Each structure stands twice: as C-alpha cells, then as structure tokens.
Structure 1
C-alpha cells in the first residue's frame, strides 16, 4: 500500500472519454453485427479513431479502471494507525481492488481549512465503488463498537494513555475478526499489471511513498482488548446480502479482458 506525498499540481487522465465511448460502440457493433461488411466498416472506423487519437487496446483497458475516494477517515494522523491500514487492506482483498492514502483540503462550515487524510480505492468493473461502500460500512461499525468498548473502560480509573492503547488494540483485533466475515478475491495477473500501470499514470509527477504505519502500543489489558475486538469484528454484518460469497458475486464481473 502507498501514500501520496504532498506535491504541487493536480492530474488529468489522458483518455478522451467521448472518443473512447464511440470506439467502444463501434467495437461492439463490429462484434455483434451479423452483416460482415457493416461489421468490418465499424471495426475499421474504430481502429482509425484509435490511431488518430493515439489510443491502444491497453489504454482502453486502463480506462475501465475506476476510482472511489473516502474523505471521512477516522484518523488524520501522519503515521497511519495499523488498524486503519489493515482495514483498507482487508477491503481490497475482499473486492479485488487496490488503494492508497492521500491528503485533501477540508473546509469546515465556518470556512476554516485543514489538511485531512483520504483513502482512494481503484479497480475494474465498479469494484472501487463496492470497496468504498464496504469500507464506509465497516468504518462506521468499528467506530460504534470501539465507543461501546471505551465506555466500559471509562467506568474505571484508567490512565488516558492506557485508554488510547486499549482502543487501538481493540481496533486491530476487530479488523482481524471482520476478515472472518469477508472472502478473499484476487485479481488476475493481467488485471494486476493493468492496475499498476494505471496507478503510475494516475500519479504522473507525484511521489508515491510507503505508508508510515503506527502499531498499537502495549499496555495493561491489551490482550483482553484485542480479543474483545476480534469477537466484535467476527460478529459484524457488512450489510443484508453483502457479506461473504454474496459480496464476491457483486465484484467478480469481467476478467482479464475489458473491452
């Protein structure tokens, strides 16, 4: 997993959406038309458009990769908490996506601006949208479960530092437990290659660095907090009809070829 280091400038994807849409329609006409002459003309026109605009079949596949962004993360720390990084990884493994952590400018209702963390999922065939949905649901549930666990700790006299560490231990255990709910979905070798190329193109001019992760600190009662988190995560329901194999059915559309 990567994080985008702060840099000047934005980005623009090189593909022309309207041109690619027209090429796709022509390609579809060429493969489905029963009249061989009309089919040949459609394919020839599509190829001329690709040559004119410098598009290749690989670029068309790259265009099928979509991005979904979460700008409401639980933590905005420079060092990403291990449980947050793990949760993003679990969602990627369950949806066949990839992700990276970035930054964005947040403007409050009062007009105050601040820099906050963002999480970007990217993948084929709408998988990024599913990944964002699953992540949002899980993050909300994790926050609620953590609040419930901390409420129990506050009834006793516990140091604030110990309280924070137990919360992190609970969260790490929770993410481990929630993995029992989801199933792994591995992209094909071809898709992995295309995803890597898309990421490089997406961040042309930017610097990608490894995520700086902060693991939960040890404290008195950390093991019990982690086990409690694991049990809570294991009992989590992503959504009615969107857990386990049913979630996988919604993200496995398509294969290595995306034309």
Structure 2
C-alpha cells in the first residue's frame, strides 16, 4: 500500500503543474487509484505521518519527571509529538509521531541521549554518601537528571511544526490512539539542601551537544565535549 500512496502523492504533486493538460491528467490518475484502493484524501495526507516506538530511559510504570523531560527535549527539537506507553511485557516505551525524516532522526537522538543521561545519573548516585537515606539519594539523582536535561535543552533551537503538520499529527493520534489518558509522574522534591544536585547536573549537561537541522540540512550531532 505504501507504494500506491507514494504514486498517488506524486500524481497529486503533478496535478499542481502549470501545464493544464498535464495537471488534469495527473489528477484523474490519482483519483482513479484512490477509488481502486478505497483511499480518501485524509488517508493520503496521513501517510506523511509516521510513528516509531522505542524503550524509554526509565522502565518504571510511574515515570520520574526527568524521563518525561528527556522526551520533551526531543519533541521540542524536532517538532514531533510523543505518546508514552507501559505494559508488563514490554515495560515503558515512547512513540514518536511526526514527518518520517524527523521521526527517524529524533528517535536516533533519543537512543543516543538516553544512555548518556542514565549513565551520568548513575555515576552521580554512586558517589553520594552511603549514610544518606535511599529516598534522599534518589531525589538528588533525579534533580541531577533534571538539571542535565535543562542544559541540553538550552542548546536546542525549537523546531515548531507547521499548522498543517500539527493537524495531521492530531488526526493520526485520533485514528490510531483513540483512548489516550494522562498518567502521573514522580516529581523530585526541590529541598534547599538538595538543589546543588540540580546545578551539578546542569553543569554536566552543558558538555552534551545536540544540534538539530531541518529539510536536508545537517540533521543531528550528538556527543560530549571534553
């Protein structure tokens, strides 16, 4: 079906030709293909939108805030939408939705950033005093992760999707995910004595580079400066 949709889209593009005969012929052929395969104009438009599902940086059912912030960093950078999912067999996943090329690079960037963040958070957690309560250590590690993501996000120029893209993504979600609902997140407590963890994470995150390009430009660079 994807080949048929691609052919229809090419014909519809030709239908905008300044050559009236060529345009009319292309439109007739596109309409014929759509009728033969029982496709609507909405079906053709929605074929521009794709989704990709990958495992999240944190596997818990109730996600920490930093995990959601990481997802938001990617959707913000590449003009995407995201759906968060969890089930017993697979665990926690994120589904990125948007134009195919941006979904591909956004997913790639998430897969590179997530382990960097998890490793940085774990290293920070391991160096904390063993005398601290587990809840205190977890809270500080979460704040560290939030600071890390904040620093990375500051480097990114947000890619705002066009109104047409936003509408298509919304239609796609309504068609494929009609029963979405909100879930709770685990927020770190910002106690004064723990805030140093946030600033340390912010300092570590400043060494990470995420550069997003658009429409054939350089699409992504990820890494840590030394």
SS where residue 85 of structure 2 aligns?
Answer: strand
Q: How many Å separate the matches in 2 of 1:251 and 1:161?
A: 46
Greater relative CO (CA pairs within 8 A, separation 6+): 1
Give, in whole Å, the separation in 2 of the partners of 1:226 and 1:211: 24
Q: 1:249 aligns with which of 209, 214, 217?
A: 214
Number of the residue aligned with 1:90? 73
Q: Judging changes above 3 Å, is the alpha-carbon distance between structure 1 residues 37 and 219 closer, same or farther for their aligned structure 2 residues?
A: closer
- SS class of match (1:209): coil
Select which of 190, 195, 201 maps to 1:229.
201
Residue 250 and residue 153 in structure 1: after superposition, are their counterparts in 2 closer, same or farther (change >3 A)? farther
Structure 2, gaps ≥5 residues long: 219-226
Give 1:211's aligned residue.
183
In the alignment, the residues of structure 1 paired with residue 216 and residue 205 of structure 2 have an alpha-carbon distance, to the nearest angstrom, of 22
Which residue is equivalent to 2:44? 60
Q: TM-score, normalised by structure 2?
A: 0.84
- In structure 1, the gaps of 5 or more residues are 1-15, 106-113, 254-259
CA separation in 1, counterparts of 2:195 and 2:159? Answer: 30
Q: TM-score, normalised by structure 1?
A: 0.75
- CA-based RMSD of the aligned residues comes to 2.6
| C-alpha separation in 2, matches of 1:213 and 1:103 | 13
Identify the residue that residue 50 of structure 1 maps to in structure 2.
34
2:213, 2:108 → 1: CA distance?
A: 13
Aligned residues: 218
**Which structure is higher in helix share?**
2
